[in-house]
Structure 1
Amino acid sequence: MTLDWLNSEAFTAFGQHIKWTDMVGNVIGLIALALGWRRSIWTWPAQLLSGLVLVAAYASAGLSGGVGKQLLVIAVAAWGWRQWTLGRRQARDGSIAVRFATWRERGLLAGGAALGTLAVVGLFTLYPELSWSPWADAYIFVGTIVAMVAQARGLVEFWFAWLLVDIVGVPLAFSGGLAFSGLVYVIYFALVLWGLRDWWQRSRGPALKGVPA
């Protein structure tokens, strides 16, 4: 059975062709974000599935940075799934504890993002066939890792990281012909704000044992 239909056109919006892979992958991504807001462990298999579908979408659009990003989503989603599973076992009520990062953790995340971006830009510059927009692709590539690592550790800052990734990712998706990625931004942005508010409030509640390192 052929899966060519996945990269075929689903409909047209604002003069751009919407592909099934782009639409399905982003819808699953929205579901994963909503599950993350609710601190459901199913956020991770949903992110993994979204990554698998979007690999095909970005590959068909020739966005190598996007493909790399989704491959990382798949790998980190598997790791995050394990982290939250261990965290639930350690918590008294079986829930996932959330908290703000320490200043040391913030420094490590920011430093890792800066150094990682420079390293990936260097890679894309050395091999220009990997990316037609080295800085933007590297920013998304590394920012995605930072956001998901922060989520896996139950850090409220992961919501801010996703916002920063989307600021660049959405325009890049439109320019690459993946219009549905841009069309869902309003919903995505709202979910991020609601999730940020919920995690922020929960982080101020009674301290629980956090997600293991």
Structure 2
Amino acid sequence: MLDGLRWLFDATFTIGDQTILWREVIGNLFGLASALGGMRRKVWAWPVGIVGNVLLFTVFLGAVFHTPNATNLLGQAGRQLVFIIVSVYGWVQWQRGKRRTGIDPNEYIRPRWAGWRTRIWLAVALVGGTLVLTPVFRALGSYEPVWADAWIFMGSLLATYGMAKRWVEFWLIWVAVDLVGVPLLFGAGYWASAIMYVFYGAFTLTGFFVWSRGRGTAAPLPA
């Protein structure tokens, strides 16, 4: 088992002049599976996502873990830790329906619109958090442009929280993250993650329309 874990941590493959870690690919595949489960309102989306978060945390601290890509993306790495924390919260929230009502949690989870007040709050939090974190990440040595790394961190935090709250709009926050994340990851040499972000972009738009049509189709929430 230890040999298998060591292989997973160190294994690489090459495309052109790019050396790519297998755990970067595997971590992103777990992330994609989690997004698919989230779109289908499956509770297993949360633990699957946590596995991907753990793997990608080690990937985006390349200089710390001495990987072939010695670039640190602190926003990308930090958001994996935030994902784990928020995912535990979301996992508990989605399971609560079964404990309280006996309803299958997959049927209990009903998407809902956040409302304009919450949308304004999300926009202010995204922009304000990016402005606050940019100098912090720059001081810690994150990859330039640092504002993009901060944007990705804040957007990912808000999108994951929105998914836990069952807000349809969380899919659009992911779109905003992907628009910035794809060029940043390509520039930093994280090709596998960048390519996966392209798929995420199309996937998140699909998820938005699926959730917007799925409002009200699940079992009613308890009083």
Which TM-score bucket, shorter chain as reference? 0.7 to 0.9
Look up the match of 1:54: 56
SS of equivalent residue, structure 2 residue 61:
helix
Closer, same or farther: CA 167–7 of 1 in aligned 2, 3 Å? farther
1:129 aligned counterpart, secondary structure: coil
Q: Deviations over 1:34-58 (max 9, x none)?
A: 0001100111111111110001110
Q: CA deviation at 1:28?
A: 0.4
> Which residue is equivalent to 2:83?
73
2:161 corresponds to 1:159: no
Long gaps (5+) in structure 1: none
Distance in 1, matches of 2:60 and 2:6, equals 14
Residue 202 of structure 2 is matched in structure 1 by: 190
33-42 vs 11-20, greater mean Cα deviation: 11-20
2:220 is aligned, of 205, 208, 211, to: 208
Letter in 2 for 1:177: G
Q: Contact 2:12/2:22 (CA < 8 Å) preserved in 1?
A: yes
**One-letter amino acid matched to 2:23:** T
2-side partners of 1:186 and 1:137: how far apart? 17
| Aligned equivalent of 2:193 | 181
User: Is 2:172–2:205's contact at 8 Å kept on the other side of the alignment?
Assistant: no
C-alpha change, 1:207 and 1:45, in structure 2 (3 Å) is closer
Inter-partner Cα distance in structure 1 for 2:103 and 2:199 = 31
CA–CA separation in structure 2 for the residues paired with 1:24 and 1:14: 20
TM-score by length of 1: 0.87
1:162-199 Cα offsets, whole Å, 9 max, x none, are 11101111221122221111222343233223222210
Q: Is the 8 A contact 2:174 2:201 kept in 1?
A: no
Task: Name the CA shift for 1:187/1:149 in 2 (closer, same or farther; >3 Å).
Answer: same
Structure 1 counterpart of 2:65: none
- Cα deviations across residues 85-110 of structure 1 (Å, max 9, x unaligned)? 12444567432111111111112211
How far apart in 2 are the matches of 1:148 and 1:131?
A: 23
Determine the C-alpha separation between the residues in 2 that align with 1:5 and 1:80. Answer: 32
Match for residue 98 of structure 1?
Answer: 111
Q: Which moved more, 1:90-99 or 1:104-113?
A: 90-99
> Taking structure 1 as reference, are residues 37 and 87 closer, same or farther at Cα in structure 2, changes over 3 Å only?
same
Identity over the aligned pairs, expressed in percent? 36
Give the 3-state SS of the residue equivalent to 1:184 in structure 2. helix
User: For the structure 1 residues 92 and 123, does the alpha-carbon distance in structure 2 shift closer, same or farther, using more than 3 Å as the test?
Assistant: same
Pairwise CA RMSD of aligned residues? 2.4
- Unaligned segments of structure 2, at least 5 residues: 63-70
TM-score (norm 2): 0.84
Deviation at 1:72, TM superposition (A): 1.1
Letter in 1 for 2:56: L
- For 2:66, the equivalent position in structure 1 comes to none
Write out the 4+ residue segments of structure 1 that deviate beyond 6 Å after TM superposition.
Answer: none
Q: Which amino acid aligns with 1:107?
A: I
